Chain A
Amino acid sequence: MQSFDLEAEGLRKLNVSLHAQKNDTNQTAWEITNPKGSHAIAVGLDAPIEVTVLGSTGYYCGGMNKQATVRVKGSAGPGVAENMMSGKVIIDGDASQYAGATAHGGLLVIKGNASSRCGISMKGVDIVVHGNIGHMSAFMAQSGNLVVLGDAGDALGDSLYEANLFVRGTVKSLGADCIKKDMRPEHLETLKCLLAEAEADAKPEEFTRYGSARELYNFDIDNASAY
């Protein structure tokens, strides 16, 4: 186990040390103390290592992650796991706005609540939120799965492309072009796997699926006045 005191040694040294890890590294477990809400912790990793942050983080923790597993034993600030490519980011507490924004792959697990714009423009990532999500979540989401065990705020899935949204609780309102859809066997199977991987205690049958009505895909002259 490599231990790193962020307050004493500084952010740049931390990220340089983590970036130095190769695929065959022996230093596979890292523990970061005194994060104190600092920004850009464990950003841009590209090695199969496990990084545990003991405390809450600021902006962009685990951003652009590849391969690594980053766990935050606290809450995360805005833009956690932004543009993640692969690997796993787990937040034990809450996440601030735009968690998992634009992420292409991997799994983001938020054990508490996520704030507004969770999964905005997601491009293939899987996001599982154990609590609730805020307004404008999955705005322009393109692909991937957003699973919410609690409730969703206003304008869920506005201008959605092909991402799947699964909500167990209530949805305050759906955004433009986002509709309720049937749950098919393959969706139940996907949900089952994601819930298990995210250590979430819920049954796939309890969820409702939402997706794109695909009405906004093409220009419609009848809507001209709305543009």
Chain B
Amino acid sequence: MCGIVGLFLKDKKLEPELGNMLTDMLITMTNRGPDSAGIAIYGNDADDNSKLTVQSDNPAKDFKGLKKAIKKATGIKVSLTKKDTHAILKMPTKDLDKVRTALKKTRPDIRVMSAGDTIEIYKEVGLPEDVAKRFDLRSMTGTHGIGHTRMATESAVTTLGAHPFSTGTDQCLVHNGSLSNHNSLRRKLRRAGVVIETENDTEVGAAYLTWKMQHGSTLGEALESSLEDLDGFFTFVVGTKDGFGVVRDPIACKPAVMAETDQYVAFGSEYRALVNLPGIEDAHVWEPEPATVYFWKH
């Protein structure tokens, strides 16, 4: 199964409420995915800094002295905000790659969940309500966000198997469905030098999109070609710095409902996820067409 929610705000007045609204939507989708939950949230691009969301299974050990270790390795001063098993590292945008390289060397157990100017990704194993509490998702603000509740079918219930998956700077992917050619595609991508960490099908989908974009495709083009190259069931929602996109496979048996008003565009695996949004009674509500790429941008 799995549940997806997404919210793209047009009305700036709602931005302080983004975390709250998305968390309600996410919890409503608990019985579509009680194994794990995750959220990608896009804050305001207020300065010249970028951020990395990092995760560790042993945060007490891995995050201790991390700032100093990065400073020592690169000479770059980063700020660190700890949130349960995750932490946000902030640094000047030009230093992002150097910090990533230093992280890999000095703290190999730390995993990078997301990288970019505005994106933060939080995901963990557990009920959506508990995951939301651990990361205090309700208090988060921003312009748009995507959430996912997972019912694992293709691989183990682990933090790395949870969604969203990062597909590049300020980009992420969530998936409802199952890919049937992920093993052969994983082999092909690995031969092309792409690092894929788990046996998870969605990670392969995310890696495929990243790989396509590294070879000159726009995100839209990468999604179009995914309709050709990915076999299986999928409703994908992708997040970008300035918006989000939706694509469903040609059979489209994984559900998707959209709602649009003057204030927002919302996505839910079911209408239930949308019922408490402001003005939903008068919203334009529809199902996205199969094999069609949709995008909303600021």
Contact = CB atoms under 8 A, between A and B. Distances in A.
Interface of A: 36-38, 56, 58-59, 75, 77-78, 94, 96-97, 115-117, 134-136
Contacts of A75: 271, 285
Nearest to A34: B275
B73 interface: no
22 contacts: A37-B270, A37-B271, A37-B272, A56-B271, A58-B270, A58-B271, A75-B271, A77-B271, A78-B255, A94-B285, A94-B286, A96-B257, A97-B252, A97-B287, A116-B252, A116-B253, A116-B290, A117-B253, A134-B252, A134-B290, A135-B252, A135-B290
Interface string B241-266: 00000000001110101000000000
A36 B255 contact: no
Nearest to A76: B271
Nearest to A7: B275
A123 B289 CA distance: 27
Contacts, number: 42
B272 A115 contact: no
A38 B272 contact: yes
A75 B280 CA distance: 13
A97 B253 contact: yes
A115 B287 contact: yes
A36 B270 CA distance: 11
B208 to A, nearest CB: 25
Interface string B119-133: 000000000000000
Contact of A36 (B251, B275, B285, B286): B275
A74 to B, nearest CB: 9
B285 A96 contact: no
A134 to B, nearest CB: 8
Centre residue among B257, B272, B273, B290 by max chain A CB count within 10 A:
B272
A38 B274 CA distance: 12
Contacts of A135: 252, 290
Nearest to A136: B251
Contacts of B287: 94, 96-97, 115
Contacts of A117: 253
Contacts of B271: 37, 56, 58, 75, 77
A169 B272 CA distance: 32
A36 to B, nearest CB: 4
Contact of A96 (B255, B273, B274): B255
Interface string B41-75: 00000000000000000000000000000000000
Contacts of B286: 94
Contacts of B272: 36-38, 58
Contacts of B285: 56, 75, 94
Contacts of A77: 255, 270-271
B290 A37 contact: no
Contacts of B251: 136
A132 to B, nearest CB: 11
Contacts of A97: 252-253, 255, 287
Contacts of A36: 272, 275
Contacts of A56: 271, 275, 285
Considering residues A38, A56, A59, A78, which has the most beta carbons from chain B within 10 angstroms of its beta carbon? A56
A38 B286 CA distance: 17
B285 to A, nearest CB: 7
A37 B275 contact: yes
A199 B270 CA distance: 29
Nearest to B252: A116
Contacts of A116: 252-253, 290
Nearest to B273: A37
Contacts of B252: 97, 116, 134-135
